[in-house]
Structure 1
């Protein structure tokens, strides 16, 4: 109810201004009330924010021994925070202009934030909306004395994208790219803070993971539980050589597993991925560059045999570099974990 109230607030304000201002102003004078109707209509929105602060203060005052009370207060706090976010999300969605996409069919709105966005050499300030099935770029237009509106610029189905979790050394940037990766189709997004960047990469990672599970058809072997293989880090199409054999494979890289599948095109629907084989990342090693093309790298195994060596050729140097970077970090984390050491806070992204 709060979220819908928040969403409809701009409309009620506009109706009050255009049709009811004089009438309610006279009523206010008759009653001798210090507050006008607009102030009363704003109260529920202000009150919800105050509830969040009140619950935060109560949690601070609650002792650790009061487990049930703490649990109840934290549940209430999460509910209030959700209502605040949901209300803001509905309000922002309602303010998108010039969009020819039916947003009600794009799944739940997961995040919305302002980013600096690079596309090739061009740099923009964009308000980005992330739905379960769509990522939408818009330009914010400030309305004096009113709510911001968002001018639609472009959008892409999340089924078409991939993600590189960290770009550069600032800790604020990540990359959105596409299955058939071209430089002009690559977006680098810079968040206002590390928290925003981490929240977005986490949510996008989960969306890509759910899509991989939904679209995979027979991707998982009967004895491989993909939910137990850690976060899905990358997925891409590669030409793969194993000995003298050459294949086209869609490869999924999880924190603890690398999985090779064959893409099956479904007319009028999403692709599915037929499972071929998989290996624990704890068993593999990597040679970052093979040959002179700048597109190939090698995956091999601890007990190295020629038939257990895979050469992967990416569609572009950017894809190849993204994969070797992520695999290198996974192997580094495993090496530290196996030695019982902990990575320095800034050593890994």
Structure 2
């Protein structure tokens, strides 16, 4: 089957792009490996709640239902995405796992999937930024008696045996999971050599994202001085970190492990029953057979555009701005990319005939 544009990934980025492509009259299909639209959100931990209020959590053209000032849970987000795809009748092919994207013999791309092969003139990779869990090598040294979960597999405290739990990672995910486990009565150790600046959920009577929107923070370019500074700091939003640190023990970087024990950079040792690795993800595109990845596996692109004609990315952190990978702001990048794709389909103007 021949298609003009294939979008790999039916999450928020792919759906927002689909909305704009349809408005621009560009034929396309969205390929997604999940069984339902929104399943990537359904599979995250039970208590996950967005930092952004519903007012700032919508994709283009469809408000997020409910209290605009309230913060939706992960299942609400999943249901909203499914509603969005149905509302705009977007051509999402579910259960369609992409196994290869490679240059076509006559131009464009050949896209192999679990349900067949398609040919496309353009491909947009909107598969998100959270692919393969990043787990330190030291994890291999722990005894099988220690239950280890990456944060992407953590659902609730009941998954973990025993009482002593180590959470590794000082970002938003790490501190949120540490707080939940402390609330559950676990003895929590937080391995976080550094913590970014802590921002309150509300300030001067307004949600912090209202201020971000007003001040243009979410539109900051990754090349701007302030943008680079914020990206490097990785702020923690909405968690009472000071209160958390009164309830958990904070240690430095994990440097070694032996049996049930871990050793830290400050020389301390702890025995644990379980470890949560809130250590992020690494890019992983084993199916992308086009030379646009750097040695670490990350895409080489500028504002989503690669050097390979017809191949684009969407939804990467800081792709064009601070909000490029955030639910309520990815639509801005999608609109820009859709306009580029629509422009690329227009025939070149005829050259004027010049008389001899």
TM-score range, shorter chain: under 0.3
TM normalised by structure 1 equals: 0.24
Point out the structure with the larger helix share.
1
Considering Cα pairs closer than 8 Å and 6+ residues apart, tell me whether 1 or 2 has the greater RCO. 2
TM normalised by structure 2 equals: 0.23
Point out the structure with the larger strand share.
1
- Structure 1 or 2, whichever has the larger Rg, is 1
